[in-house]
């Protein structure tokens, strides 16, 4: 049997939903070794394409839909890396990329191709389905603004405001502000006013930086998790919403009203401290906010990188906006209890600890009122091997990308020719 005939036999095996790996060679028994390869047949797919289709069949979504398999096999892989490497064979090619076993491929190669397939699906789907605004982060050009609260609900909150009681303003990362604001409003606190209490929210360094990273990706950034830590520790300067000491000083200089620095290990602790400072009791039945799912934001940043190159009825920020409801739905279905919490990449653990200790010291010596233990800011959790993306698990991101592809294909018509 020739190489081309063997590869096409495995392709048909994978198209039928098969999961037998290339190295096992049991699938080749379905082909007649006496029949030569059809000279008119197309060139066999690369090892990367076939490895991704094999991974899709193994992902637990059932056999890959026939149309989705064709989209995957027909999508060029962007970026760097080996150009269409062939599969291992007894007679390897003399020219071109060296053969690569699907089992030995770098997951990042599969991720690049999976992201390209996802972008192709997003760019070719139609229907004008309404989508949520890309979040977190303030609204930017080409992005819909968050929906406002109904006027009737706001009026009820204003009516419950006791005379002489001040409102509040929150400052910090977008995810923390959004989660704490919701709990404060549900407890009857009122946002705003002439001289509100300014509550600056501080969390452990890796949590705050993960939320800042998610906010940047929500606004279109493509910086990786490990690259963000490398930039932060090299510059020896924390991003603005993470450096709560600098943020509190700026708020005190620019705003009217009292400034309180509120520290907590998570959103629930922050909300409880803020409610106590405002003299409010917590609303019953408040659900805890799930931590940042690194794989979800890692996938979106990869789509951000490829979105400007997409060609089709949908492109750019509109393309990313179509992805957001899918990612949010998959994130809700994901078991957060098994997902790794945000952690400092091992290569930057020492520098991160130094930066965090410096922040905690500056907060202790800041001279303004602090609610909570400044030592919370100095807590850092090393995790992951030294590398480009640190503790972001590429396999988790790849599983999420494949699930998004299947979900998009099942709800849309797929890419247009």
Cβ contact 134:321 at 8 Å: yes
Q: Which among 60, 82, 105 is the end of a domain?
A: 105
- Do 35 and 178 have their domain in common? no
Domain encompassing residue 360: 159-392
DSSP 106-163: -HHHHHHHHHHHHHHHHHH--S----PPP-SS---TTSPPPPPPPHHHHHHHHHTPPT
Query: CA-CA-CA-CA torsion for 135, 137, 139, 143, nearest 10 degrees?
Result: -40
- Count of CA atoms in the C-beta half-sphere (13 A) of 26: 5
Cα–Cα distances in angstroms (integers) from residue 67 to residues 51, 74, 193, 328, 360, in the given order: 17, 11, 56, 25, 55
Q: Please report whether residue 415 resides in a domain.
A: no
Q: Please report whether residue 409 resides in a domain.
A: no
Q: Please report whether residue 230 resides in a domain.
A: yes
Tell me whether residue 319 is exposed, middle or buried, using C-beta atoms within 10 angstroms of its C-beta: 0 to 12, 13 to 18, 19 or more. Answer: buried
Count of residues making up the chain:
417
Average pLDDT across each block of 10 residues of the chain; the chain has 417 residues. List them in order.
82 88 66 52 84 90 81 85 75 72 89 94 57 37 42 43 68 95 92 91 94 93 91 86 94 88 94 92 66 89 89 77 89 68 83 91 90 87 50 88 91 53
Does the pTM of the predicted model rise above 0.75? yes
Q: Please report whether residue 27 resides in a domain.
A: yes
Q: How many domains does the chain have?
A: 2
- Do 234 and 382 have their domain in common? yes
pLDDT at 140: 35
pLDDT at 171: 96
pLDDT at 410: 84
Q: Please report whether residue 132 resides in a domain.
A: no
- Do 165 and 45 have their domain in common? no
- Do 204 and 277 have their domain in common? yes
- Do 192 and 256 have their domain in common? yes
Angle made by CA atoms 166, 170, 171, in degrees to the nearest 5:
140
Q: Which among 105, 124, 147 is the end of a domain?
A: 105
- Do 170 and 89 have their domain in common? no
Distance CA(156)–CA(189), nearest Å, equals 11
Helices 107-124 and 47-58 pack at an angle, to 10 degrees, of 80
Q: Please report whether residue 166 resides in a domain.
A: yes
- Token representation of residue 160: 């419950």
- Do 231 and 377 have their domain in common? yes
Q: Which among 69, 88, 105 is the end of a domain?
A: 105
What residues contact residue 187 under an 8 Å CB cut-off, 6+ apart?
Answer: 275, 280, 281, 282, 283
Q: Please report whether residue 138 resides in a domain.
A: no
Q: Are strands 197-202 and 259-263 parallel, antiparallel or unpaired?
A: parallel
- Do 241 and 368 have their domain in common? yes
- Count of CA atoms in the C-beta half-sphere (13 A) of 259: 20
Tell me whether residue 22 is exposed, middle or buried, using C-beta atoms within 10 angstroms of its C-beta: 0 to 12, 13 to 18, 19 or more. Answer: buried
Which residues, in sequence order, are bridge partners of residue 344? 382
Distance CA(30)–CA(34), nearest Å, equals 12
- Do 327 and 181 have their domain in common? yes
pLDDT at 388: 44
Distance CA(273)–CA(65), nearest Å, equals 50
- Do 78 and 183 have their domain in common? no
Distance CA(168)–CA(190), nearest Å, equals 7
Question: Tokens 């010596």 identify what position?
Answer: 365
What's the per-residue H, E or C state across 74-98?
CCCCCCCCCCCCCCCCCCCCCCCCC
Q: Please report whether residue 408 resides in a domain.
A: no
- Token representation of residue 332: 């809700």
Closest alpha carbon to 4 in 45, 32, 34: 45
Question: Tokens 């949010």 identify what position?
Answer: 328
pLDDT at 177: 96
pLDDT at 233: 87
- Do 373 and 279 have their domain in common? yes
- Do 274 and 191 have their domain in common? yes
């Amino acid at each position: 049997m020739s190489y081309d005939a063997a590869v096409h036999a495995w392709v048909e095996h994978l198209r039928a939903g098969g999961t037998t790996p290339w190295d096992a060679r049991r699938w080749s028994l379905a082909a007649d070794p006496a029949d030569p390869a059809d000279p008119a047949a197309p060139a066999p797919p690369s090892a990367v394409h076939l490895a991704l289709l094999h991974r899709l069949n193994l992902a637990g979504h059932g056999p890959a839909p026939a149309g989705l398999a064709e989209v995957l096999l027909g999508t060029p892989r962007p970026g760097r890396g080996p150009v269409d490497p062939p599969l291992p064979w007894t007679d390897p090619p003399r020219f071109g990329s060296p053969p690569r076993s699907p089992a030995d491929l770098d997951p990042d190669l599969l991720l690049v191709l999976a992201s390209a397939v996802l972008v192709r699906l997003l760019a070719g789907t139609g229907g004008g389905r309404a989508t949520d605004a890309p979040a977190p982060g303030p609204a930017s050009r080409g992005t819909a603004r968050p929906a406002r609260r109904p006027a009737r609900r706001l009026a009820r909150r204003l009516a419950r405001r006791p005379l002489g009681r001040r409102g509040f303003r929150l400052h910090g990362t977008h995810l923390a502000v959004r989660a704490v604001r919701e709990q404060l409003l549900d407890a009857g606190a009122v946002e705003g006013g002439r001289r509100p209490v300014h509550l600056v929210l501080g969390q452990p360094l890796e949590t705050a930086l993960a939320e800042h990273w998610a906010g940047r990706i929500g606004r279109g950034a493509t910086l990786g998790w490990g690259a963000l830590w490398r930039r932060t520790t090299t510059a020896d300067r924390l991003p603005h919403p993470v450096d709560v000491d600098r943020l509190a000083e700026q708020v005190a200089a620019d705003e009217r009203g009292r400034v309180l620095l509120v520290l907590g290990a998570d959103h629930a602790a922050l909300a409880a401290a803020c409610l106590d400072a405002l003299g409010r009791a917590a609303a019953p039945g408040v659900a805890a906010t799930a931590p940042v799912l690194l794989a979800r934001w890692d996938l979106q940043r990869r789509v951000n990188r490829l979105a400007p190159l997409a060609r089709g009825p949908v492109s750019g920020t509109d393309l990313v906006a179509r992805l957001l409801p899918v990612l949010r739905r998959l994130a809700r279905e994901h078991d957060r209890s098994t997902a790794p919490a945000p952690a400092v990449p091992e290569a930057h653990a020492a520098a991160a600890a130094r930066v965090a200790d410096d922040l905690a010291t500056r907060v202790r010596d800041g001279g303004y009122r602090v609610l909570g233990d400044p030592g919370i800011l100095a807590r850092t959790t090393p995790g992951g091997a030294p590398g480009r993306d640190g503790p972001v698990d590429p396999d988790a991101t790849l599983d999420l990308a494949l699930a998004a592809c299947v979900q998009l294909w099942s709800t849309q018509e797929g890419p247009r020719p």
